[in-house]
């Protein structure tokens, strides 16, 4: 049996009480790579109690912000120092090319942690001037115990995206990584201890959706922070309603990658290749709708397909690979089912170069569908694979209508050299991100907020970090005159 990894509660590495395990399958080999505990409600309860005690009685929330920041800097440095191991675990668990795990995911996780560490001692409350009779100040306090539910597409980055903001303001957290890719979150918890962050501040429970559901239902949790499907996001919001807990939800998307005829076509093509295939299309901001002006359609498509045909689909450990496998058999079937749905109406243009000699792995080649109707299922539903619907348009009003014609509102990309047009479109599309002449640009200082079915609240940026706090307004009466309401 492949080596198991236990979860982390306080400073204890533990199995589940039931001794049930989740098998972690490497999607490139289809073999069991590792196993982690399958935590039940009892295990979750234990973690919440440990976290609650660390919050109420431990040194963490009483530490000076600058001391907290120093420990978080140390954690960021440890993530960096352990890049090789973390990148390997990430690739073995979920299949993204090792080159990307090492050169994109780990550095991004480090940046996010540094950003949050730097915010610790920048926290400010405020004072509300109300004249001489009242002294009013507003405090920003930690919410308490946070549950961070993490998906499998950026396991380490998204774990840090929950962990950093929670820690910055003195909260404690229980991370629940995805069952497909749990190991980097466990290592992150261990590195937090190594950095000197007190036991119980960072806990990691592992298991399937049921474990996440038990965590979200627990009355001892004060905030639920989730990234994943809109379907589960809704369940999380319902769970939060039970005790009126705070929620942050980062959900699905159906990005319109809009190419106007006046765009820098070479740059737009290169970026379209990237946004269509990066992480094998398993990103909530994948440019899954390529919305293209009719005038440039043929030339753009020709060059795009020839570029896509150069991409190697194959072993994620091979340095030449650009698209690794899809994360699981289940997701692979789902992506292929969407390709079938597309095929009922349109002929697929299959691109990419499948590496020879592969005898296992859940691989999907980049696949385009051309002249797709904006309301077709493949243009409406999140596929989460390298499957792109090309939609034609002729004028600006039409393209804005198309961009907004989905229930999602996460990101839009606009390619044009006309400055006024870029800003006009940016103002009218209803999405949390608008990228002008770029794609998929996320860095720590920019808040990430989905509109409509894409989410509630922001991750990262100062706004996202502040969502891990609650306000307290203290009103001090300085007026001694009698209360007019009482005789």
Q: Which residues bind ligand NAI (CB under 6 A)?
A: 149-153, 176, 178-179, 208-209, 212-213, 216, 227-229, 232, 235-236, 250-252, 284, 331, 334, 382, 384
- Residue closer to ligand NAI by CB (options 236, 400) is 236
- Would you list the DSSP string of 309-357? TT-EES-TTSTTEEE---S-HHHHHHHHHHHHHHHHHS-EEE-SEEPTT
> What is the residue whose two structure tokens read 């001794």?
19
Nearer to ligand NAI, 238 or 479 (CB): 238
Residues in Cβ contact with 263 at an 8 Å cutoff, skipping those fewer than 6 apart:
296, 415, 416, 417, 437
Of residues 259, 353, 340, the one with CA closest to residue 305: 353
CB nearer to ligand NAI: give 232 or 465: 232
User: Are 350 and 369 within 8 A, CB to CB?
Assistant: no
How far is it, in rounded angstroms, from Cα 305 to Cα 390?
12
Indicate which residue of 284, 351, 382, 449 is catalytic: 284
Three-state DSSP class for residue 404: helix
Q: Which helix (H) or strand (E) holds 108?
A: helix 106-119
Nearest to 180 by CA among 322, 39, 32, 48: 32
Separation CA 333–CA 184 (nearest Å): 25
Indicate if 210 belongs to the active site: no
Compare residues 142 and 212 and give the one whose CB is closer to ligand NAI.
212
Asked if 463 is an active-site residue, the reply is: no
Distance CA 293, CA 396 (A): 10
Catalytic position from the list 90, 179, 190, 250: 250
Considering beta carbons, is residue 211 or 469 the nearer one to ligand NAI? 211
- Extract the tokens encoding 49: 């109690």
Active-site residue set: 250, 284
């Amino acid at each position: 049996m492949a080596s198991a990894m236990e979860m982390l509660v306080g400073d204890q590495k533990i199995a589940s009480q039931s001794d049930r395990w989740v098998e972690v399958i490497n999607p490139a080999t289809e073999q069991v790579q590792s196993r982690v505990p399958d935590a039940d409600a009892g295990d979750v309860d234990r973690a919440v109690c440990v976290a609650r005690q660390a919050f109420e009685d431990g040194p963490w929330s009483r530490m000076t912000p600058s001391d907290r920041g120093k420990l978080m800097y140390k954690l960021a440095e440890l993530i960096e120092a352990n890049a090789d191991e973390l990148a390997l675990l990430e690739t073995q668990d979920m299949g993204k090319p090792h080159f990307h795990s090492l050169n994109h995911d780990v550095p991004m996780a480090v940046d996010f942690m540094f950003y949050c560490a730097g915010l610790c001692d920048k926290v400010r409350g405020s004072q509300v001037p109300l004249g001489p009779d009242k002294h009013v100040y507003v405090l920003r306090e930690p919410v308490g115990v946070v549950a961070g539910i993490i998906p499998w597409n950026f396991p380490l980055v998204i774990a840090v995206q929950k962990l950093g903001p929670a820690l910055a303001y003195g909260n404690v957290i229980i991370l629940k990584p995805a069952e497909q890719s749990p190991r980097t979150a466990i290592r992150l918890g261990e590195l937090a201890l190594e950095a000197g962050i007190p036991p119980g501040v960072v806990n990691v429970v592992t298991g399937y959706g049921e474990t996440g559901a038990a965590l979200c239902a627990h009355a001892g949790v004060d905030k639920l922070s989730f990234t994943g499907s809109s379907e589960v996001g809704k369940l999380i919001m319902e769970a939060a309603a039970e005790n009126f807990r705070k929620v942050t939800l980062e959900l699905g998307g159906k990005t319109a990658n809009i190419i106007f005829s006046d765009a820098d076509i070479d740059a737009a093509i290169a970026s379209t290749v990237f946004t269509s295939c990066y992480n094998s299309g398993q990103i909530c901001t994948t440019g899954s709708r390529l919305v293209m002006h009719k005038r440039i359609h043929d030339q753009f498509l020709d060059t795009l397909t020839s570029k896509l045909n150069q991409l190697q689909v194959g072993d994620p450990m091979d340095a030449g690979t650009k698209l690794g496998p899809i994360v699981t058999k289940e997701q692979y079937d789902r992506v292929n089912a969407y390709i079938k749905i597309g095929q009922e109406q349109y002929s697929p243009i299959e691109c990419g170069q499948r590496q020879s000699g592969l005898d296992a792995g859940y691989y999907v080649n980049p696949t385009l569908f051309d002249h797709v109707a904006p309301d077709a299922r493949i243009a409406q539903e999140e596929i989460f694979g390298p499957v792109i619907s090309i939609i034609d348009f002729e004028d600006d009003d039409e393209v804005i209508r198309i961009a907004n014609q989905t229930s999602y509102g996460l990101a839009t990309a606009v390619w044009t050299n006309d400055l006024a047009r870029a800003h006009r479109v940016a103002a009218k599309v209803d999405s949390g991100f608008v990228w002008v002449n770029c794609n998929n640009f996320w860095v720590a200082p920019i808040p990430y907020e989905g509109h409509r079915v894409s989410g509630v609240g922001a991750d990262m940026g100062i706004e996202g970090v502040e969502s891990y706090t609650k306000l307290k307004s203290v009103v001090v009466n300085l007026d001694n005159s009698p209360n007019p309401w009482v005789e």
